[in-house]
Structure 1
Amino acid sequence: MEEYTQITLDEWVQLKENLKRDLVGVQESFVRIGYTLRKIEEEKLYEQDGYKNITEFAKTEYGLNPSAVSRFMSINRKYSVNGYSDQLRPEFIQMGSSKLSEMLSLPDQDLEMIRPEATREAIRELKQFNREEAESGTADDIRELIGKFFEDNADDLEALRTSEAYHTGEVDKLIEIVNPGGTRTYKKGLYFLMMYEQEIKVKKFKGTPQTMSWAEFFSIAKEIIENIPIADLKEPMEVCVNEAGPEAGSKAVIEEEKADSGEDDPVTAASDKNESTVAAGSTDEKEDDPKDSADKAESETEKTPEKIAPAQDSAEEGDARPEEEVEKERIELEEDPVGGITARCQTRKEYLDSLSIYRMANYMNEEYARKNLQASTLCYPSQIIDWLTQEVDAQGREIVDV
């Protein structure tokens, strides 16, 4: 059985501090080695031992190859105080020698993008972004960039939009949703993002890095989310930076009606014509059979509904409604005081059930435009139930008592 040494809390804290100090010492040793090599080279001190240059000296005396010598000296130039000393600049103390080496080929202005918690992979992504030609027309400003971020990360959008923190504005909790690992990168169009716990670094192609606060990020994100058409909040999700408006839904309904009627569609028209011809032929063949004629007449009688509310008639949608549902709706019709028949009082849920998917999408988009349905409503089941159970007329308009 293994034995464990018990240490006090103070001893544990001191142990971690010692480890941090030793790791910092490793980084500072790189700077000191580079400084010493630079001094030997500039003053040609290697000639005192008969060497021709600094690389010959370092190889023979310390086993350092030319690339290692060059890297030590470059690290000193880039990261030492004032660019020529044996002291590491404070902002690079926690970086680590491997990341310092990776950052050597970054422009000086891009060092602002890197924090100690950044990974080597993130640094390499930034270097690749600088080398490649950025794609214009995809994300040319910050608003488009954030919109594309949520379009490419639909799960994050859904988690953000349905969270309580989204409505209370608790930025710390929102950060945990979007950046749970503490660091994250995103590249799109003209921009490269490096996300950290406290801030976001933004680099525009061939530009100077800027700092964006998380509060600003979520402010833009909320504005974008509020402008997403209701129909687009279902899978597959696509972020709309600009509000589409009800016209887009109306156009979809027009296209649907044209498709149903076969208008401007020679294939559909030809198909309908062929079906009519076949049906006519079948009737002619059975016309002399009294039994078949009687069966057909009975069948036609059964298919004809007596009275169905217009809002519930879904024949034009191509839906096969169960007979018991039609019968139930007919029973629920109410007699008008003057003797006529009026459509029964229906809930919005019942009205939606009578629509095709395209008409339903158009209706919900119009309700959103009329401000009868808010994006925030979808975050609370109780509000969704209230909206679905409201009484509406035959056109789906809310009935308001006068």
Structure 2
Amino acid sequence: MALAPLTFSTDNHGWAELLPHRQPTKTLTGTHRVPWVVIGAGVTGLSAARRLAENNPNDQVLLLDARQLGQGASGRNSGYAVAISQFSGAFDKEQEKNYRRIARINAQGLDLLRQQVGDLGINCQWQEDGYYHTAADAASLKEYDNFKDHLNRLGYEHTLLNKDDLTDRLGTSLYQAGIHVPKGVLLQPAALVHGLGDNLPANVTLYENSPVLKINQGEPCHLELENGQITADKVIVATNYEAPKLGFLNRYIMGSTLSGSFTRQLTNDELSNLGSLKEWGVLSLHSGGATVRLTRDKRISLRNTAEYHGAVLMSDTFLSKRQDIHRAAFEKRFPQLSHVPFEFSWSGVEGISQNFTNFFGRQAPNIYLAGGYNGSGVSRGTAFGAALADYACNISSDLVDDCLASAPATWIPPRPFLDIGAFFKVKMRFIGVGLDR
């Protein structure tokens, strides 16, 4: 009996739309017998496949993606590769080891990406000057004090900025205070994923538009696809919030759908009405605040909605309504650019856990999984992918130990309670957001 096809929502809206057309690889067909399969070609899967190939140069590795490269979450985020994570609330001395553990994971992911981007000559607008954590309203100003204390206690480099400093640099007078953290990278996420996927080691074969419909667990595993079958000794699952479709993390991970808009390219005159910086990124200190970027190709990108939307992308109708929210936030920040239209809007889904932990480890004797990055997937997903490959190869390291130390996830009730709980959990992000939205 044929398996019912799974749904993997995609559209033409996202960072990939700003890039030259790329021809996808072929779809997997036929019967295959291999040592290794990696499911999911986002940053985690790409990192895992590369490390598997390095660890096992004589083994064939199949890398499968249900979509085209760059159409999943890894190509639809705002392009921040985080080094220093912000934790809401006051500094918790009992969590200091955990703060430092997460920073080490982020740093190793950045180190891996930096080396790969350099060695492979990937043009992804890599900008390593960190970003600005900003506050415009009361709730985020409180988090400004918390984050400042956090950085001081952990000894992380940073610069405090007042309203005039931020206005001079960013060209908006909305923000009352901010912190520049120099560690961290801005990039074009779809270009990064394209570059990594198009420059894989010789013993890795990428198949796009090739969703796995079912995994029959055993030793070896049997994977069923629409037009093919694979028998593999070991499988790495790097599908993040879509892991439940393959029978993993049911009621432990959910998808939050975010949306944002891009302006057209700004003219030189329009750029002159902004601040002194020609490229920058802003992260609101309020968890529900807007993420704003001035990109290297002279666009402003603004994301300021997150909601439970069934873990799928938004239709054009929904995006049109969300664009009104983006527009109001844009003109509030940049009234001098109120005449500049948006070129298009986009949506993407992030994988989040109930207690904001990450997933890493063995799911079955020969199945391994990583995911659930809660919005920090570019750097952390890269680190988790490499560490998971090492772990599957029985290679120990400090990074593997750090990833294994992730706190257990808390259980999410089944539907309809899942839908209700997820809706309100995501909605809670916006309480008190005020001017930071």
TM-score, reference length from structure 2: 0.18
Higher relative contact order (CA 8 A, sep 6+): 2
TM-score, reference length from structure 1: 0.19
Higher Cα radius of gyration: 1
